[in-house]
Amino acid sequence: MMSVMSLYTKWLDMCAAEPDLLEELSRIRDDRQAIEDRFYADLSFGTGGMRGVIGAGINRINLFTIRRAAAGLADWLSADPGSRGKPVVIAHDSRLFSARFARETALVLAGRGVRALLFDALRPVPVLSFAVRHLNAAAGVVITASHNPPQYNGFKVYGPDGAQLAPQAADIVTENIRRLDFEDCLPMEEKKARGQGLLVDIGRKEVDDAYTAMALRLMVRPEVVRALGGELSIVYTPLHGSGNVPVRRVLKEAGFGKVTVVPEQEMPDPAFPTVKAPNPEDPASFTLAIPLAEKTGATVIFGTDPDCDRLGVCVRDREGVFRTLTGNQIGCLLLHHILSEKKRMGLLPTDGAAAKSIVSSELARAICEDFGVTLFDVLTGFKFIGELIQQFEENGGHTFLFGFEESFGYLSGTNVRDKDAVNAALLTAEAACVCLHEGITLYERLQQIYQKYGFYSEAVLSRDYPGKQGAEQIRRIMQTLREAPPDRIAGLRVLAVRDYLIGRRNENGLVTDMGLPVSDVLFFELEQRHWFCIRPSGTEPKIKLYTAVSHRESMEKAQALGRRLTGAVLALLEG
């Protein structure tokens, strides 16, 4: 690989026709650290594609890194017999340069002989995932950085099953990318690509109608919505992203007539001016929505991120106070809604299955056991739930009912193979209607679930480690924990350690294989079925920490124990 300074000089020449990138590089001419940060390594490409800060350099998202990623994808598809002749579907969200990056992706694919089907406007991740399957495409791409701050963008890749790219395929694409010079990844001229049929726009009718009809079929109690949907008042914020049109459409067609959109956050805006980050996981994202809900008398608030794969929810309690739900709470509410209503109608299959990530709430297990449904644990990353659905379809044995991740991702169907906030918003609204029919709130339903199965308290934190030094620090932290794991923490004994990097579970020296894909994750099983987990983020320079406890008596006692465990884990990480 070329030296950092050689790469910097080369990029000065490459960016001659890109004034913004050239100005950025010229500005840091005498800042060796800034140059190194942009050129010390290629932006990581994994099973979710790549994501990073927008800017100049090989460690940034820009026109050239997008083109090279598209070329690497095209080369993989061209070499794969099952993909030849099939198109690639491309979508984008509202982020800075997303539309341009999507078009450049299409034209690079066209230049390598791969037909590109380009959505004519913003589309969310679930619509892209659906379109890959609906249009029998070889792959899909969404230009998005999901819920990251405004300075980020990304290149998310989907396989022919509509799920995020499988690890083996991602490895091949990564190797293809590394072999390519940036100068060899030029796009085809647009007029030529259109003339040869290698670039085709997808309008409103080709996919959107089919997707909406599919989402409506996933309702469990549509007759309750038809009866009471006009009475349920909802406030919705798309947080300046791609969810505005599809979420409002599906709610309207289902029968929800009182949906008010937060006006300041309705229109697409790459600056996301009303929030620090467009992340519905953050309660602050509802700062504008809650006063509007108070004014309109709404009982439910929805928020979606820019690519509309995550859903955040606020609900009123019996006293009228809005409560922001966690991803685990939303997931367990939806799981319980689906299973209980299907059982009520005699439609719960005997081979029913649900799925959650290993870091999501164990409350889901208690619910599934109660309804006789098998719960599968998968690694973090919704692609693994997508793979599980594919296995069920190919091998039989189970009927998929619902899957979720604590990071605000949910799915109840099989025509989409990624998190679907449109689907989740509709189901949450339906669950609220069922509660309205019973004379309770959705928040009271959650309390009923806790009373029956126990009080579960989970926490998710992250610590940022930016740049080259940060990457090395993350590696050292994980290595130290592997070599010297604690035997007690917060007064709780560590009963077993699962190391997903080697696929082994160690319980007092008894080592067993776990049978899951390799991932850099450490999971610590504690006494009384409490646990904590540590893993580096796959898309950002940070370590994520998860803690989970439960208590039979009250949420207050569970939360007190959870705070003690979380503090101890943070001390372990920082010590």
By annotation, the residues acting in catalysis are 146
Q: How far apart are CA 310 and CA 278, in angstroms?
A: 11
Q: Which two tokens stand for residue 511?
A: 């080592």
Pair 244, 266: CB distance under 8 Å: yes
Question: Among 95, 262, 72, 278, which Cα is nearest to 169's?
Answer: 72
Q: Please state, in angstroms and rounded to a whole number, the distance separating the CA atoms of residues 316 and 440.
A: 10
In DSSP terms, which residues pair with 102 in a beta bridge? none
From 309, 310, 304, 410, select the one nearest 356 (Cα to Cα): 410
Bin 154: left if φ > 0, else alpha if -120 < ψ < 50, else beta. Answer: beta
Q: CB of 347 within 8 A of CB of 314? A: no
Task: Return the SS3 of 314.
Answer: strand
**483 alpha carbon, distance to own chain's centre:** 31
Q: What is the CA radius of gyration of the chain?
A: 24
Looking at the chain, how many residues does it have?
Answer: 575
Cβ–Cβ under 8 Å, residues 96 and 150: yes
Which one-letter DSSP state was computed for residue 465? -
At 151, list the tokens: 């300075």
CA dist 339 and 412 (Å) reads: 11
Closest Cα partner for 51 from 157, 171, 170, 184?
Answer: 157
Nearest-angstrom CA–CA distance, 62 and 39: 13
Looking at residue 306, what DSSP letter applies?
T
Rounded CA separation 155/78 (Å): 19
Q: How far apart are CA 134 and CA 155, in angstroms?
A: 21
Using alpha carbons, select from 465, 504, 497 the residue that is nearest to residue 481.
Answer: 497
Q: Which residue has the tokens 């101890």?
A: 568
